[in-house]
Structure 1
Amino acid sequence: MEGEKTLNRDGRDIQGMAKGENGALLTARQRRFVDEYLVDLNATQAAVRAGYAPSGARQHASRLLARENVKKAVADAMKRRQERVELTADEVIGDLRELRDICMGRKPVKIMTIVKNAREGTAEPVEVEGMMFEPAAANRALEMLGRHMRLFADRMDVTSNGQSLQSGVLLVPAVMSEEEWTESVRPRK
C-alpha cells in the first residue's frame, strides 16, 4: 500500500536502506562506516569519516561493531579484500621470519651490483652475497611476530570469577563494620 513503511524485525523503517554485498541491510552511513573501517581498522576514526559527530564517534563505533549486520559486512569486506590482494596471514608471518633472519645476519643477502670497466667500455651485472646486521629492523620484525603470538600484553585483562568485567563496573567485596572487625581480631578465651 502507498504511504506504508517497510519495517524490519526491530520495528525500524528500512526504506532508504540498501542491501550490502552480504545481503545484510545497511544504511548508507553504516555502509560508509564499513568502507572507512577497512582503511585503518580504527573504528572511532571510521565513524567520524562516515559522518558521525566526533564527540560521540567512539560510542557510535562501538554500537555499530556490535550490530550483527555491520559485523557481517565488515567480515565479508575483509574476506573480499584478502582474496583481492591474494595475501594470507601465513605469507606475512613467513616474510617477517625471513626479514628477521636477514636482519640478524642468520641468512645471507644477494645483492646485484654493476661492475664497470672503463677501459673496455663494458658494464656487467654481478651478484654478490653477503651478511648484514640491522638491529632496528630485526627488533621490529620480532615485535610484530610477538604481537601475533600475543606474547606482549598491551592491555590488562581484569576478570572476576572467570568473567570479564564490563567497562565502568567494579565489584567490591562486602566490608566488615568496625564492630565486626574488632570482634574478629579480639583474642577468644
Structure 2
Amino acid sequence: MTPKQEQFVREYLIDLNATQAAIRAGYSERTAHAQGPRLLENVEIAAAIRAAKVERSEETKIDAAWVLNRLAIEAQADMADLYTETGAIKPVHEWPLIWRQGLVAGIKHQELRDSEGNRTGEFIVDIKVSDRIRRLELIGKHIGVKAFEEQVNVTGLDALADRLARAAKRTGD
C-alpha cells in the first residue's frame, strides 16, 4: 500500500465514512465521493481495515458478544428503577448505571427557588427514553430473526422464469 492509502485506512477507522476519509487522507474533494468507495474495494486496503478493526476490538474488549449482551441488558432495563415508591422520579445519581449510560435521551428538570429567588434545589419532571424498539431490532438482526430484515433477496426466480419460457416454447405454448 502507498502511504496515502495507509492514511486512508487510518482516517476511515475514525468514522467509517469513505468519502471523508479520502478527503482527510489527501485525495481530491471533487472526486472523493467516487475515490473513497473505490479505495474500499482495494483488496489490500480492505484487509488492512479488517485487521485494524480486529485489533481495535481486542484493545477495547468490545466485540459482537459484548454488543449483544449490552443490547440485551438495555432492552431488559426496568423503568421502575427510576422512581421512588411514591412515584417521584429519583435523582439521577440514584439511577442504576445502565440508565445513566445512554438509555435516557433527555431530562427536563425544574429548579426550586426560595422567595428571594435563590436556588434551593431541583427535581426532574420528565424523562425521555431512547428508542428501545431499535435495540430489539438490532438484537433481532444479530441473531438472525428474519422479521427484522429490511430487504429479502429471493434468488433463482430469474432462472426459473427462463426455464419455464423455454419449456413453453418446446411445447408450443
Q: Provide the alpha-carbon RMSD of the alignment.
A: 3.4
1:102 aligns with 2:77: yes
The separation in 2 between residues aligned to 1:128 and 1:58, in whole angstroms, is 45
The separation in 2 between residues aligned to 1:50 and 1:156, in whole angstroms, is 36
1:84 aligns with 2:78: no
* Correspondence 1:1-189 to 2 at 5 A: 26-103=1-78, 105=79, 109=81, 136-148=130-142, 149=144, 151-153=148-150, 161=158
Q: CA deviation at 1:146?
A: 4.1
The gaps in structure 2 that reach 5 residues or longer are: 84-93, 100-126, 160-173
The separation in 1 between residues aligned to 2:55 and 2:152, in whole angstroms, is 33
The verdict on how the C-alpha distance between 1:157 and 1:51 changes in structure 2, with shifts beyond 3 A counting, is farther
Structure having the larger proportion of residues in helix: 2
The separation in 2 between residues aligned to 1:138 and 1:79, in whole angstroms, is 28
> Larger C-alpha radius of gyration, 1 or 2?
1
The gaps in structure 1 that reach 5 residues or longer are: 1-25, 112-126, 163-189
The separation in 2 between residues aligned to 1:83 and 1:62, in whole angstroms, is 26
Per the normalisation by structure 2, the TM-score is: 0.54
- 1:47 touches 1:61 (CA, 8 Å); kept in 2? yes
SS in 1 for 2:75: helix
The separation in 2 between residues aligned to 1:92 and 1:142, in whole angstroms, is 12
The separation in 1 between residues aligned to 2:9 and 2:158, in whole angstroms, is 36
SS in 1 for 2:62: coil
Q: Report the count of equivalent residues.
A: 116
The verdict on how the C-alpha distance between 1:96 and 1:69 changes in structure 2, with shifts beyond 3 A counting, is same
Per the normalisation by structure 1, the TM-score is: 0.50
Q: CA deviation at 1:90?
A: 0.8
